[in-house]
Amino acid sequence: MPELPEVETVCRGLENNIIGKKIASVFISDKKLRLPFPKNFSTDLKNKTIISVKRRARYIIIELDKELNILVHLGMTGKIIYQTKTPTPSLHDHCLISFSDKTSIIYNDPRRFGLIDLVKTSEIKNHKMLKNLGPEPLSKEFNAKYLQSKLENKQMNIKTAMMDNEIVVGVGNIYINESLFQSGISPLKAAGSLELNQLENLIINIKKILKKAIELGGSTLRDYVNLHGDVGGFQFNFAVYGRTGQKCIVCDGIIKKIKQNGRSSFYCPKCQH
């Protein structure tokens, strides 16, 4: 499941491989992703050149010439695969962009939770999916004072609050579970009840974990983009995620699994308070 580090990895891979290339042809499937493909998608893209690849939250923004941008969200199961030979669309391939040098990128997404849209440069900031997003987790803007101001008086549990994209973007289920564990904070704790130093600690751990994951993702970047379309050697050793019933790695507590707002939370009841 692509969380922010994976999206960042994909962006860097695209940056290294498709900048300056000219789009020769575009194929789209007849199935719709979270939203249908924009009208005239294929014809609008034809003969455009890739200028840059950027990321905002978990969205990939592929900038083209003529003030046009492809907005991509990988959802749960979306993948972008770069190929140097002419591909034929296979199962769950929903968008295939071929360049004039015969290379291509393929968007594959079995569950179709992903999203592909076309946005004018002047309209990016006001795009429905982007306009209400909070700060990037690795930015200076995401600090304890800021977080305290957003969480004060909130009764909602801290875990759910941290997954709210208006508070901070790109902190998915796995990473918030791990970050709360590293911070010794129970996912059940009311968001507004945390002390400033606890928030500081939580933020440090979120940044640390995300950075580490990006580093690991980055190290296998070449494989990811060019060969298999999956993250090969990228392994994160989770302390709590998916470890229901197993022993805590720091005390003799047993990892517990609960549901919060329809999402699984994993924590050690003995060392997270």
Partner DNA sequence: CACTCTCCCTGAAAGC
Partner DNA sequence: TGCTTTCAGGGAGAGT
Sole binder of DNA in the list 163, 210, 255, 268 (CB under 7 A): 163
Question: 61, 55 in Cβ contact below 8 A?
Answer: yes
Question: Judged by CB, which is closer to DNA: 42, or 160?
Answer: 160
Stretch that binds DNA, among 19-27, 61-69, 107-115, 116-124 (CB under 7 A): 107-115
Sole binder of DNA in the list 30, 91, 197, 237 (CB under 7 A): 91
- Does residue 160 touch DNA according to CB under 7 A? yes
- Does residue 154 touch DNA according to CB under 7 A? yes
Between vectors from CA 119 to CA 118 and to CA 125, what angle results, nearest 5°? 145
Handedness of CA 2, 170, 208, 269 (dihedral sign): negative
- Does residue 226 touch DNA according to CB under 7 A? no
Q: How many CA atoms lie within 13 A of 223 on its CB side?
A: 10
Question: Judged by CB, which is closer to DNA: 112, or 270?
Answer: 112
Q: How many residues bind DNA (CB under 7 A)?
A: 35
Query: In whole angstroms, how far apart are CA 74 and each of 14, 26, 270?
Result: 14, 18, 36
Binding mask 21-50 for DNA (x = CB under 7 A): -------------x----------------
Question: 75, 115 in Cβ contact below 8 A?
Answer: yes
Min dist. Cβ of residue 44 to DNA (A): 22
Q: CA 94, CA 112: separation in Å to the nearest integer?
A: 9
Catalytically active residues, by annotation? 2-3
